[in-house]
Structure 1
Amino acid sequence: MKNVFFTLAFLCSSILIAQEGTNMKKLITPPEQVRLAFEKEYPGKVPVWSEEYVGDDADEIRFEAKYNVSNTTKAVAIYDNLGNMKAYELQIPFSQLPPKSQAYLKKNYAPKAIREIAMVVDNKNVTTYEVGIEKDTKFYDIQFDKDGGFDVIIEKN
């Protein structure tokens, strides 16, 4: 009886571990030209690479290099498969948001709803701000333009 119990417990835990593994992002090694572009732009930084498929038919691949700028600040550099930078995201404190963005957030959300804040610069050198908030157990990205004006809110999965 004891052996049956341990066998069932082992099988159940194996199934749970296998299911957890399917939800994790796959760590990858990017193509050499992507890796070299990152190393040239951010010498000495050690990234954790992942990939994401984007586009209308999810037919374009993007390589994301997440790394620490300092002990308290994180960043993400996003490249296409040829090593061209598509965007750069830098974690920033609330105080570095434009005043219009700060006012909007203070008026519409509790401070504890704010989960992450980033300044984003795309490949056309356009700066925007993204604020991740949690409301009613759902996660949203609120985007602001370079001057802090509200742009759009997107529900994330």
Structure 2
Amino acid sequence: MKNLILAFACFCSSFLMAQNGIMPTGVITPPEKVRFTFEKEYPKKVPVWSIEYVGDDNDEIRYEAKFNADNNTKALAVYDNLGNLKAYELQIPLSQLPQKAQAYLKNNYSAQAIREIAVVVDYKNKTTYEVGIEKENKFYDVVFDKNGGFDVIIQKD
């Protein structure tokens, strides 16, 4: 009887979470179109898939494939539910960041604050650089344009 009550409580809480727009994320298996596109673009790469709900009402689904581009470099490919590539993110060392961006970081943050650096190419072929920063126990993405010019800081949850 206790198991039945517990199962019912879990069902109700899951239903309420879905009603409030709280969608679980985690490791998933994407649709065939998405997997096919990934395998075509990145043959012999083994992704770890996750799902993210985006948009004004969390009404758009994005499938994220995290994988090793090579032995030392991590990458992320983001697809919509039709298998269209929406963004590609590649981890890079500080030395590959444009000089202008390196100077900005040096003037505004300690070297210990920098957690990760990536070059991002979106579906419009727009290139940006994102630098993950930790400051006062909060995480931020400092975004630079393709020439290394400062664009925006985004606080992460």
TM range, smaller chain: 0.7 to 0.9
The CA deviation at 1:51 is 0.3
Residue 33 of structure 2 corresponds to 33
**Which amino acid in 2 is paired with 1:127?**
T
Structure 2: gaps (5+ residues) = 1-23
Distance 2:109 2:26 in 1: 33
**Which amino acid in 2 is paired with 1:70?**
D
Question: Residue 106 of structure 1 aligns to a residue in which SS?
Answer: helix
RMSD of equivalent CA atoms: 0.9
Instruction: Confirm or deny: 8 A CA contact 2:116 2:132 kept in the other structure.
Output: yes
The count of residues paired between Structure 1 and Structure 2 equals: 134
Q: Deviations over 1:8-60 (max 9, x none)?
A: xxxxxxxxxxxxxxxx9411000000000000000000000000000111100
Instruction: Confirm or deny: 8 A CA contact 2:25 2:52 kept in the other structure.
Output: no
**TM-score normalised over the length of structure 2:** 0.84
Instruction: Confirm or deny: 8 A CA contact 2:68 2:74 kept in the other structure.
Output: yes
Residue 11 of structure 2 corresponds to none
Percent identity for Structure 1 against Structure 2: 74
Distance 2:114 2:26 in 1: 27
Which contiguous aligned blocks of 4+ residues in structure 1 show a shift greater than 6 angstroms?
none
Instruction: Confirm or deny: 8 A CA contact 2:74 2:90 kept in the other structure.
Output: yes
Select the structure of larger CA radius of gyration.
1
Residue 147 of structure 2 corresponds to 147
The CA deviation at 1:97 is 0.3
Question: Residue 29 of structure 2 aligns to a residue in which SS?
Answer: coil
**Which amino acid in 2 is paired with 1:137?**
N
Question: Residue 103 of structure 1 aligns to a residue in which SS?
Answer: helix
Structure 1: gaps (5+ residues) = 1-23
Residue 72 of structure 2 corresponds to 72
Q: Deviations over 1:76-129 (max 9, x none)?
A: 000000000000000000000000000000000000100000000000101000
